[in-house]
Amino acid sequence: MLHCDEEEDINKVLRYFSYEHFYVIYCKFWELDTDHDFLIDKENLIRYGNHALTYRIVDRIFSQVPRKFTSKVEGKMGYEDFVYFILAEEDKSSEPSLEYWFKCIDLDGNGVLTRNEMQFFYEEQLHRMECMAQEPVLFEDILCQMIDMIKPQVCLFI
């Protein structure tokens, strides 16, 4: 907190949630919440970031695997839930973000990512790349890069 006192513009301090951060997140939420009932569903969230998310990952988010929703409305994410999502989405280097996305991909919840789990999400991305006439990146190449970066003890899972 001492750092906050030393900085003239509190919005430049990234370790704490500023009014500017709140406002940007709120505006993104409001933009997605087309009926403005302060709840968003899968179809709302799929539009996030110009359709940056896949249907499979949105299904995982709404299955509440990475984090239980505080919203009591079935199939709806409230503002607090959206804040957790967007913080995980925007800062993928933080520990909570890594845990959030790991849980999304860990389909069987056993604490390790297998080739099949990663392949499941890759398939939808491959289809999207093909639809946009982009040269696809091969799954094997992605997997090799991940193994090289992470250096797991057993190459069968991460």
CATH number of the domain where residue 42 is located? 1.10.238.10
pLDDT digit string (tens) for the chain, length 158 residues: 444 455 566 556 555 567 888 899 999 999 999 999 999 999 999 999 999 999 999 999 999 999 999 999 999 999 999 999 999 998 888 999 999 999 999 999 999 999 999 999 999 999 998 998 888 889 999 999 988 888 888 776 67
Whole-model pTM: value is: 0.83
pLDDT at position 10, please?
57
pLDDT at position 108, please?
95
Residues 151 and 100 in one domain: no
Q: How far apart are CA 75 and CA 110, in angstroms?
A: 25
Residues 78 and 19 in one domain: yes
Owning domain of residue 158 = 108-158
pLDDT at position 126, please?
92
Residues 117 and 44 in one domain: no
Count of domains observed in the chain: 2
Last residue of a domain, one of 89, 105, 121: 105
Q: How far apart are CA 9 and CA 15, in angstroms?
A: 13
| Structure-block tokens of residue 39 | 């709840």
Residues 60 and 119 in one domain: no
Residues 28 and 75 in one domain: yes
Residues 35 and 93 in one domain: yes
Classify the phi-psi angles of 49: left when phi > 0, otherwise alpha if psi is within -120 to 50, otherwise beta. left
Residues 6 and 53 in one domain: yes
Residues 92 and 114 in one domain: no
Residues 10 and 43 in one domain: yes
pLDDT at position 151, please?
86
Residues 74 and 122 in one domain: no
Q: How far apart are CA 120 and CA 25, in angstroms?
A: 30
Share of the chain above pLDDT 70, in %: 87
Residues 9 and 75 in one domain: yes
The distance between the two most distant Cα atoms of the chain, rounded to a whole number of Å, is: 51
CA gyration radius, the chain? 18
pLDDT at position 17, please?
67
